[in-house]
Chains A and B, each alone.
Chain A
């Protein structure tokens, strides 16, 4: 037999089932969000990390002229080396459409049956790939616009276009998603590489150090020791690549996104709790009289007295609220009712304003990322960059390109990989196996060139005569030379030569890999490429389209046996950069939607409570002549006014929130996110909150207008 207490509790829940449902939905939404985020966080940190570590990532990769089995065995026998494996990696290009090429990183694997370091897993197809075929990383298949079994054209730096069949798919957890990089990853045998026109000799020595493989210092020490030993043994070490140990190439980005999601989802949970408190508070307010009856202490019934004039603060607030008026007493009533229950108003405004602030902040962050991309694009005053397979005579290349219709101007912008010189004459870079992440490029830049215009965080751009000067971009400064000041010496290793430069400026070049800019004269001296060029930047005439012109240029160069490695147009820049923020944008949209839902549910709950609590007042209003429409108008106005107030609070609240979250993400991702107020988001939030407030008010308003007067006047 159910006790009367339980019957009352169940009755109370039944009588407020709408609000209980809303509260439950909001709590469920926020808990669901937190759970999803925590699950994602767990997956992306633990699983990605585990998957990445499961590949047995190389502590370092040493580039030599040739790595054979005997050498590998000898290296493995060293006590400071846990494992070693030979490999090769070639950056080629793949034709994904007619005369449409994308870069492809060819990973050359000597033995697919005994993958030891940077291991990947078979997904489908032949294993190992037969001669003349390749395996494609599964995230890259869509980029190739081909399917397994089809053939595509590949061209390596020294080879002619060659048709390779896609033999199957693999999954390499150590690589960044191909669609984010706009680059294809393929895996081939040395024999297939030879068929492509390259030497089948393996040039990379991948190692895993024995002691403390998570420490950069330990890896550097072991690599340096190994390099000295190799050099002494006649194996010249051209380059040492030591990527951040045990860290996926996109670990920083993922951590940044997950951190942001975690912050917002915890706030969402807090909002859910606030909503629950609002509902409970409303139920308690409604039951004050019932509680009093149970205590046998009630002595009055009537319209609930206002809290406007209760207490010192209440009186002060009351004086302010009394100034809220319109020509219509009914509207005045609606607006002042908003302030009637300070506690509930505080809850509701906190809920909605925080939701609004989070909505706006999430859009602000998105806008900041987009602004970074836009600024990066605005700093580029050329239409495409073409990188050559091998250095070619500069005059010839420039003349060939100038002759193409649609080309307005062409400039040499040669590039070479460089690394921080650590004083041991070793060329140690932070480059990942994909050759892109963690890389640092040194670019030859004519000081008077107007192809780029970057804002400077410090210092200035190159000027004529800055022969030993260098301008670093933001990422290069933050990741490779943190703390370096204008005028400081910058020591680099280019090839196997040490180079000393003086820091002239730090250019804000967002969303761009680490790079340093030096004069053509110094570039020629450092690289011994005088009179040669390996990359050019091209500006087109206003009516020329990039893709057809680039195809003509590539054909013209190839006719003269100048191989093209890469064509980067604004479209490919945009796709690569957009791909990196795709996840972020999706996450922010998810957060914003969740926030809006929780906030609107909170308002609906508060209004619903308010209507129930003021049932008797509505009866009085009806008794003195109010029509249903008048009652509806009052409740709707109250909801809209609350929504408007919350919006006005949300805008200033979003500013510190955006700055804080931006700082956290900026510091993690090494991409500074300056405060960008998205007025569009402000407008959208006002539209959402007002539409939501109206929607949230409809049901309480209709309920209020349908209350039978006799029952409302008798309402306890």
Chain B
């Protein structure tokens, strides 16, 4: 779907509501049981995550909120395999991530989880198109001959196909974030994780980006987003609030 084509001004379209209904019946895609993450600091041990238990279903659009230092980024890092839990079990898309090696995690992450960063983190010496092709080249999820066409399709879906041959530095912040989302979707992962994807964007562009991410959930992908912005809460089907590394609140954003 074209970014911005989905209306989302204060109410959910029928398709989204239907999707939210389906979530409860869908399989659990992410399961955390007793996950803790402790860091050694000069002041002693610091528990960034403390006995977190969560089930996240396919198709959910989840907001992870909390104050600074509450453990949001650590939770995202653990979910994506960027960091490993100190204890507990983590199952993602049927795989026990806590048992995977770093190399296995890299391959698993590349195929299963698309990551969107706050500051886009596009590689500056590659064109937008090449940035989108990069995960496909790393993971070989698609035949080489199809990668360029797929990258162009994704950029087209995000409305920046005409920017494909430009370097990231030549794009606006919003366009760069769209390119980063296209890159996250390159290997068609079932899960998309975004760490404050709108933190560096103006409000209109933020709305567009969130609308697109929410639409991904409608299409069956599981979307987890760390955010500070309450204005965007309407795009989420579920909000998990962290405090001091533990789940303080976990509730559906709207009634199905």
- Residue B249 is within 8 A (CB to CB) of chain A in the complex: no
Number of residue pairs A-B, CB distance < 8 angstroms = 109
Contact status of A624 and B138, CB under 8 A, knowing A329-B133, A713-B82: yes
B137 touching A330 by the CB < 8 A rule?
yes
Nearest Cβ on chain B to A292's Cβ, whole angstroms? 15
Nearest Cβ on chain B to A396's Cβ, whole angstroms? 85
A306 touching B106 by the CB < 8 A rule?
no
B144 touching A327 by the CB < 8 A rule?
yes
> What is the interface of chain B mostly: helix, strand, loop, or mixed?
helix
B130 touching A625 by the CB < 8 A rule?
no
Range for the number of chain A residues in contact with chain B: 35 or more
Q: Which residues of B contact A617 (CB under 8 A)?
A: 121, 123
B135 touching A340 by the CB < 8 A rule?
no
- Interface residue ranges, B against A (CB under 8 Å): 77, 80, 82-83, 102-103, 106-107, 109-111, 114-115, 117, 119-127, 130-131, 133-139, 144, 165, 167, 169-170, 183-184, 186-187
Contact status of A620 and B138, CB under 8 A, knowing A332-B126, A333-B126, A625-B106: no
Contact status of A329 and B77, CB under 8 A, knowing A624-B115, A626-B106, A628-B106: no
- Of the listed stretches A70-78, A196-204, A297-305, chain B binds A297-305
CB contact between B134 and one of A309, A337, A624 (< 8 Å): that residue: A624
Q: Which residues of B contact A713 (CB under 8 A)?
A: 82, 117
User: Can you show 8 pairs from A to B with CB atoms below 8 A apart?
Assistant: A303-B124, A306-B125, A321-B125, A328-B137, A329-B130, A332-B130, A620-B121, A713-B82
B121 touching A627 by the CB < 8 A rule?
no
Nearest Cβ on chain A to B35's Cβ, whole angstroms? 15
Complexed CA–CA distance, A547 and B187 (Å) = 78
Q: Which residues of A contact B103 (CB under 8 A)?
A: 627-628
Residue of B nearest to A334 (CB): B125
Q: Which residues of B contact A329 (CB under 8 A)?
A: 126, 130-131, 133-134, 136-137
Contact status of A710 and B77, CB under 8 A, knowing A332-B130, A625-B187: yes
Complexed CA–CA distance, A392 and B150 (Å) = 96
Q: Which residues of chain A from 603 to 640 have any CB-CB distance to chain B below 8 Å in the complex?
A: 616-617, 620-628, 630
Q: Which residues of B contact A339 (CB under 8 A)?
A: 125
- Residue A691 is within 8 A (CB to CB) of chain B in the complex: no
Q: Which residues of A contact B183 (CB under 8 A)?
A: 624
- Residue A132 is within 8 A (CB to CB) of chain B in the complex: no
Complexed CA–CA distance, A175 and B136 (Å) = 74
- Residue A66 is within 8 A (CB to CB) of chain B in the complex: no
A625 touching B110 by the CB < 8 A rule?
yes
Residue of B nearest to A625 (CB): B110
Nearest Cβ on chain B to A703's Cβ, whole angstroms? 15
Complexed CA–CA distance, A207 and B187 (Å) = 95
Complexed CA–CA distance, A337 and B23 (Å) = 44
Complexed CA–CA distance, A283 and B135 (Å) = 31
B134 touching A330 by the CB < 8 A rule?
yes
Q: Which residues of B contact A333 (CB under 8 A)?
A: 123, 125-126, 130, 134
Greatest chain B CB density within 10 A among A322, A340, A625, A627 is at: A625
Q: Which residues of B contact A505 (CB under 8 A)?
A: none
Residue of B nearest to A314 (CB): B169
- Residue A336 is within 8 A (CB to CB) of chain B in the complex: yes
Q: Which residues of B contact A623 (CB under 8 A)?
A: 80, 82, 109, 115, 117
* 5 A-B pairs with least C-beta separation: A625-B110, A306-B124, A302-B119, A336-B125, A625-B138
